[in-house]
Amino acid sequence: MSHKGDAGFMGGGWFLGFIGALIYFLQHASTFWLGIVGFLKAIVWPAYLVYHLFVFLHI
């Protein structure tokens, strides 16, 4: 029996972040299509976060 790691907590954290971002973007959407764009933004927000963190750290 192999142990693949315990990433459940991090997955749950990212999921809560997705839900929070989705609520934020949907609250600011004034049309249906802006709601769709908000949904897509909620999916990719971690990539922007990591990118700007690396820029800030000069990596």
Which pTM does this prediction carry?
0.69
Give the rounded distance of the alpha carbon of 16 from its chain centre.
9
3-state secondary structure the chain: CCCCCCCHHHHHHHHHHHHHHHHHHHHCCCCHHHHHHHHHHHHHHHHHHHHHHHHHHCC
pLDDT at 47: 84
Q: pLDDT digits over 7-45, tens only?
A: 667 777 788 888 999 999 999 999 999 999 999 999 998
- Give the start-to-end residue ranges of the domains of the chain: 31-59
Measured distance CA(29)–CA(13) in Å, rounded? 24
